Amino acid sequence: MVGGCFDFGVKRVKIVPPYLMFLGDAPDQLGAKTADGVAKWRPDWCLGQLRLEGCQADIGLKDMTLEGAKAAGVKTLILGVTNQGGFFNDSWMETLHGALDLGMDIASGLHMRLGDVPGLGEKAAKLGLQLYDARHPTQDFAVGKAVPRTGKRVLTVGTDVSVGKMFTSLCIEKEMKARGMKADFCATGQTGIFIVGEGVSVDAVVADFISGAAETLSPDNDPDHWDVIEGQGSLMHASYAGVTLGLLHGSQPDAIVLCHEPVRLHMRGTPHIPMPGLQATIDANIAAGRLFNPDIRCIGVSVNTSGLSAADAAKFLIDTEAELGLPCVDAYKDGAARLVDALS
């Protein structure tokens, strides 16, 4: 693939690599999670990072200026920074306009549209350059119908938000393809879209149409083909359960993989709500998914052990596997072989 392709129904466009990852003035590493995810999974596409004064994030790429990036062959500036509200800071404007002046396209996964930045859309059009808003698909989706489809589907779900659903999904797809299996990662968030080049950012889809978007992402396929669907939100989270439910109903998964981060004491953003139990989370997702696929099952647990020591991580995996009776792995560190084994 020469570049990422977004198929939004109205037109098909390409994000052209190589990329320069823009971290802006991110206050911490989490603020650059989009850039970090793309760099980890597409290192061949990411030539460098651009950080403004005060940036506290570093994804390990070479620091570049716009001019240096242009000389290195960069084609697209990726806004790999996230912030509360998804807006563009005033401090970014010089960089955005400068990238266009040097002939680069710009791609963003923020809620605010690039074309809403004063003068940016007009300049891009004048220069014949592209602005890509990954969080704003132009395709219209039908409501979900829950008609059974051919092919197989596995969906990642979580005890909380940001616990490793995308990384786990990509690890599962990687393992499947290494075995010669037919498999495709279905991106449902902006980072995943930048990594594989297509998908739908479902948190930007009107609630009534999320299940329909999931059906569009995972259509009829060969009987032995697996769609590996990136989960979003958490059915157990007061703020983000809706998007999870839409994905459960629309994807009609044959299997789910539970994702978990064991160091958390409460749900992210809601300190008054403690983390749910793993078995309770599995049961809730199975109950919701069974409405439209009575054969749905949980085949394993993927644990983000990055916050644990090696000894504590090993103990947690062993204890959790014994408690749940399911394969329990850190899919990113150790691979997803045991999860894929459990799908057969």
**pLDDT, tens only, 207-251:** 999 999 999 999 999 999 999 999 999 999 999 999 999 999 999
Domain 4-133 belongs to what architecture? 3-Layer(aba) Sandwich (3.40)
Q: Look up the pTM and report it.
A: 0.87
**pLDDT, tens only, 145-197:** 999 999 999 999 999 999 999 999 999 999 999 999 999 999 999 889 899 87
Note whether 174 and 266 are within 8 A (CB).
Answer: no
**Domain coordinates in residue numbering, the chain:** 4-133, 152-343
Residue 55 has pLDDT above 60, yes or no: yes
**pLDDT, tens only, 1-54:** 334 443 433 333 568 899 999 999 999 998 998 999 999 999 999 999 999 999
- Helix, coil or strand: residue 5: strand
CA pair distance 166, 15, nearest whole angstrom: 20
At 3 the pLDDT is 42
**pLDDT, tens only, 112-154:** 999 999 999 999 999 999 999 988 876 789 999 999 999 999 9
Residue type, 24: G
Q: What is the DSSP string of 37-90?
A: HHHHH-TTTEEEEEE-TT-----SSPB--HHHHHHHT--EEEE----TT----G
At 138 the pLDDT is 67
Mean pLDDT value of segment 102-108: 96
CA pair distance 28, 54, nearest whole angstrom: 10
Give me the CATH topology for the region 152-343.
Rossmann fold (3.40.50)
pLDDT band for position 319 (cuts 50, 70, 90): very high
pLDDT band for position 76 (cuts 50, 70, 90): very high
- Helix, coil or strand: residue 153: strand
CA pair distance 3, 302, nearest whole angstrom: 30
**Cα atoms in the 13 Å half-sphere on the side-chain side of 248:** 27
CA pair distance 338, 114, nearest whole angstrom: 42
Fold matches, 4-133 and 152-343: yes
Displacement of CA 160 from its chain's centroid (Å) = 15
